[in-house]
Amino acid sequence: KTSHGSVEKLKKHSVNGEVGGIYSELKRRVSLLQTVHAHKPHFVALHCQEVGGKNYEESMTHVDSFVKELLSSDAMKEYGKARIYLDENYRSQEHFTALGSCYFLHETLKNTLQFDFKAKKYKKVIGKEIYSDTLESTSMLEKEKFPQEYFPECKWSRKGFIRTRWALADCAFDLVNIHLFHDASNLVAWEKSPSVYSGTRQKALGYVLDRITDQRYERVPYFIFGDFNFRLDAKHVVESLCSSATMQTIRAADTNEVDKLIFREVDNDRKVVLQLEKKLFNYINQDVFRENNGTRVRSSKIFKTDRFIYLPTYPYSEDTSQGKQYMNTRCPAWCDRILMSSSAKDLVLKPENEDKAVIYDNIGPNVCMGDHKPVFLSFRIAAGAGKPNANKHKCCVVQ
């Protein structure tokens, strides 16, 4: 997940997606760097979740090599300043989030500042610095893991957020890397609308919003991007896709709990349309999630305001030869998003050709990027747009 930006019509670009497997696959790295090269941003913010992948104990060593290759690549050679924050301390159950927030600043950017949350002042960004393992020791970010009681189903959840604050061209803003809770069971998600999991995500997102807008620091525009784990309303989707099918319920012999749901056509030899289990969502025709960017499944009440020009970003096959194929584990959904506050929206420069003012899309549509497709947002910020009152706003004053 990344963001790019620059000063004097600050060009900003954001990319989102779980990229655990990106550290060891050349094609995935190339897709990411090609996006940077194509848009030529001056400020790049790359937000990653599941740093090191799902088997982080074995794969964490790939992270360091990935960062080194990223910093030394031709696409990034003009980015003379960088701040890399990688939560690699998987031995700490209390603090580990597996989040990675990486920021690259073009050599043409002058007087770029980052906020010190402990000192409560901005500091000049000079050179390249990498922080890993225990991020609690740096005051240049805020990192929190959600309380365990938010998601009691999971014995050890890594979900949480990292927040950094920046000042460029008289524009101050927060960048928040977020990872919200997933749907642990398709069967539970199907039981009611909205599902219990959406309530858990809402609570966690509310927690983040409260933290980044409280009274401890001056309020500034903010961008939140990461894996929100937002899902389609399972009950409505199943009702839509299986409206003319009959449902068979199969229960576990020992507990009598629902173990599987099978939806069959009434005629046509009672052909199976959908099989639903805890970790199985096997629908007969995946194209329904691709046609017109999933218009049919988005027609339910879940997406009244969202407009997507890209396909559901999850769950893609992790087979490197199946870059376009969804896995049959979950209902495809737009898990990866880039959201902004209304004040952040006001920062965006709207040129005459507004169709090209903002680009919101995914990376590697034809390449295996892991089980999530990263998404990116590219736009320009007008210098001074974040300066509502010259006498009052001191975001760019170094103390």
For residue 315, what pLDDT band results from cuts at 50, 70 and 90? very high
For residue 16, what pLDDT band results from cuts at 50, 70 and 90? low
Give me the helix-helix angle, 26-39 and 56-72, nearest 10°: 40
Q: How far apart are CA 212 and CA 195, in angstroms?
A: 27
Average pLDDT over residues 337-343: 94
Q: Is the pLDDT of residue 9 over 70?
A: no
Within-domain flag for 242: no
Q: Cα–Cα–Cα angle for 196, 161, 14, nearest 5°?
A: 105
For residue 159, what pLDDT band results from cuts at 50, 70 and 90? very high
Q: Is the pLDDT of residue 251 over 60?
A: yes
Within-domain flag for 290: no
Within-domain flag for 258: no
For residue 304, what pLDDT band results from cuts at 50, 70 and 90? very low
Q: Is the pLDDT of residue 78 over 60?
A: yes
Within 10 A of 60 (CB to CB), how many other CB atoms are there?
Answer: 20
Within-domain flag for 249: no
Distance between the two ends of the chain, CA-based, in angstroms?
32
Structure tokens of 112?
A: 């770029």
Domain at 330, CATH number? 3.60.10.10
Within-domain flag for 264: no
pLDDT for res 61: 75
pLDDT for res 62: 79
Q: Which domain holds residue 320?
A: 2-229+310-381
Helix (H) or strand (E) holding 85: strand 81-86
What's the domain count of the chain?
Answer: 1
Q: Is the pLDDT of residue 66 over 80?
A: yes
pLDDT for res 5: 36
Within-domain flag for 298: no
Contacts of 364 (CB under 8 A, 6+ apart): 27, 28, 31, 32, 323, 373, 374
Query: Whole-model pTM?
Result: 0.89
Structure tokens of 276?
A: 């639903």
Within-domain flag for 225: yes
Whether 300 and 233 have beta carbons less than 8 Å apart is answered as: yes
For residue 64, what pLDDT band results from cuts at 50, 70 and 90? confident
Q: Is the pLDDT of residue 347 over 60?
A: yes
For the chain, helix, strand, coil in percent to 5 are 25, 30, 45
Within-domain flag for 292: no
pLDDT for res 382: 73
Helix (H) or strand (E) holding 121: strand 121-124
